Amino acid sequence: MIVGNMIGVGVYVGSYYSLLSLKDARLVLLVWLIGGIHAICGAIAYGAVASRLPVSGGEYSYLSRCVHPAIGFIAGWISIIAGFTAPIAASALLMGEYLVGADPAVTIASDDISRVRIIATASIVVAAALHAFHLKVGTTFNNIVIVIKLVCFSIFLVVGIPFVLKANNTGILTDPTSGLVDSSSIAARLQQPEILMSMIVSLFYVSLAYTGFNASIYLAGEVEKETDTNHRRNFVSRSMWMACALVMLLYLLLNFVFLYGLSPERIAQSGKGYVAVVAENIGGNGLSRVIRFAIILSAATSILAMMATGPMVYAQMAADGRLPRFFQITNHVPRIAIFVQASLSCIVVWISDIEGIIKFLGLTLTACGALAVSSIWFAKKNFTMEIPVRWYEHVATILYISGAVLFLVVASQREQNQFWLCIGAFATGALVYAAAAIRRRRTA
């Protein structure tokens, strides 16, 4: 489930935007490493909370119980809008582009755009139908698809790594204005303030690729029911950091081949569909088909995984009286919540595009995650399991929150549109909560 949530749109487009900004593949790979370490800290921090409060619903459940219902509602609102609705739509659109066969590096004709959106909508409907039938049907199919996808990645890496090791590719992009190549060492470049700022902005893209590492927390309550007492305490926590470490290693290997399997200039020319061009350069049409197939599967597993976890937020908020009761789980499946989640994602498919939501998602989801893991320090009496907070859990929580704060500070200076969209998402959630509270008082 976690691997399916993580490997989605971000890994295929993040390095393209980062290379244009940093102009050095070494720095881009360093950003992926830093992003992975930050995500592992987040996984440990989330696990610290999940092991003490094993309930479904994710950030909403933690903050409602440990801080205040209003804060929890805002987190649930962010989870619904930014955590699931938009990413499901983005993954569906990516799958549609590759199934249509249009080259994402060029402008897609209007007829093809409509076909992409139709395919994206159909994929969301199918995922919703699978999970509405029974949760284990959807997750079993999800696991099968993930295995096939990882086989495709393995083929790509087995062919691509030897090719890259033999290739004479510096990975450094020529400056289009001066025509010069900056061949400075990494240490020298890291001393430049502008480079450091650009790396932090690049982390917005990378953070999107790593979001999803906390997928287990949305099903923690169901896991508790299915797991005996001796294993349930560490199961969710272990699943997150182990999956996160595995995906980080995979991301580093994939991006090593993505960035050095083609000249930086050709990557810049190829646009966000550069991965298929890299594969064709390495192994011809055959390898290009393999990686396109893997991309389609990545998008499919992301849709399936998020369609399973997203409705659990609705269900938990309904169980707590924050949403109408019909969103609750009935016969082990939150069918109404699945239907609403699918409907919202389909709407986004028809009004937005992939690029328009990437930075917003990376920034907003990281900020929401930092807010959630801070609950380990609040209202410990609400934890169902009295376990002392370990030193490494404190450290991981501090590092994850510090990274999120740094993101927000840099965004307020360099990415003001995304910063205010992020603030607006939180503010809208607060307004909806206030309106609901006023209505409850009037009807009481």
Q: What tens digit of pLDDT does each residue of 336-361 get?
A: 888 888 998 999 888 877 766 777 77
Domain of 18, in residue numbers:
2-443
Q: What mean pLDDT do residues 85-91 have?
A: 85
Find residue 24's DSSP bridge partners. Answer: 172
* Nearest 10 degrees: Cα torsion 155, 23, 362, 278: -20
Domain count across the chain: 1
pLDDT score for 107 = 45
Which region holds residue 332: left if phi is over 0, alpha if psi is between -120 and 50, else beta? left
Decide if 370 contacts 107 (C-beta within 8 A).
no
Instruction: Tell me the per-residue pLDDT of 155-209, one tens digit each, with 9 for 90 and over.
Output: 999 999 999 998 888 788 776 555 555 666 778 888 888 888 889 888 888 888 8
Q: Any idea of the CA torsion for 351, 356, 362, 367, to the nearest 10 degrees?
A: -70
Residue 204 · residue 407 · CB < 8 Å: yes
Mean pLDDT, rounded, of the chain: 79
d(CA 382, CA 79): 22
Q: Are the C-beta atoms of residues 254 and 25 closer than 8 Å to each other?
A: no
- 3-class DSSP state of 172: strand
Say how far apart CA 81 and CA 64 lie, in whole Å.
18
Give me 377's structure tokens.
């320090």
Most confidently predicted of 70-79, 149-158, 303-312: 149-158
Contact (Cβ atoms closer than 8 angstroms) between residue 99 and residue 119: yes
Q: Which residues pair with 333 in a beta bridge?
A: 330
Amino acid letter, residue 223:
V
The pLDDT score that the predictor gives to residue 209 is 84
Residue 92 has pLDDT above 50, yes or no: yes
pLDDT digits (tens, 9 = 90+) for 377-391: 765 555 555 667 778
User: DSSP labels for 111-124?
Assistant: HHHHHHHHHHHHHH
If you average pLDDT over residues 413-422, what whole number do you get?
84
In the numeric block, which tokens belong to residue 301?
């597993």
pLDDT tens-digit map of 94-148: 888 888 865 444 445 556 788 889 999 999 998 888 877 665 555 666 677 778 8
- Evaluate whether 174 touches 264 at the Cβ level (below 8 Å): yes
Query: Residue 12's pLDDT band (boundaries 50, 70, 90)?
Result: confident
Largest distance between two CA atoms of the chain? 73
Residue 28: pLDDT band with limits 50, 70, 90:
very high
- pLDDT, tens only, 300-336: 877 887 887 778 778 877 877 777 777 777 776 778 8
Contact 307, 124 (CB under 8 A): yes
pLDDT on residue 106: 45
Burial of residue 284 (number of CB atoms within 10 Å: 0-12, 13-18, 19+): exposed
Mean pLDDT calculated for residue range 267-290: 87
Segment (H or E) for 415 = none
> Angle at which helices 335-351 and 86-100 pack, to 10 degrees?
60
- pLDDT score of 303: 85
Please give the distance of CA 313 from its chain centroid, rounded to a whole number.
Answer: 16
Q: What is the pLDDT of residues 249-262, one digit of tens each?
A: 999 999 999 999 98
Amino acid identity for residue 162 in this structure: P
Read off the CATH number of the domain in which 99 is found. 1.20.1740.10
Q: What is the pTM of this model?
A: 0.80
pLDDT score recorded for residue 207: 84
Instruction: Check: CB of residue 75 under 8 Å from CB of residue 98.
Output: no
CA distance readout (Å), 236 to 104, 122, 195: 37, 32, 37
- Least confident segment among 7-21, 123-137, 228-242: 228-242
Q: What is the pLDDT of residue 175?
A: 64
Residue 142 is predicted with a pLDDT of 66
**What is the per-residue pLDDT for 282?**
92
Select from 352, 364, 348 the least CA-distant residue to 419. Answer: 364
Q: Alpha carbon 296 to chain centroid distance?
A: 16
User: For residue 414, how many other CB atoms are within 10 A of its CB?
Assistant: 14
Q: State residue 346's pLDDT score.
A: 92
**Both tokens assigned to 361:** 């998602």
* Phi/psi at 330 (5° precision): -130, 130
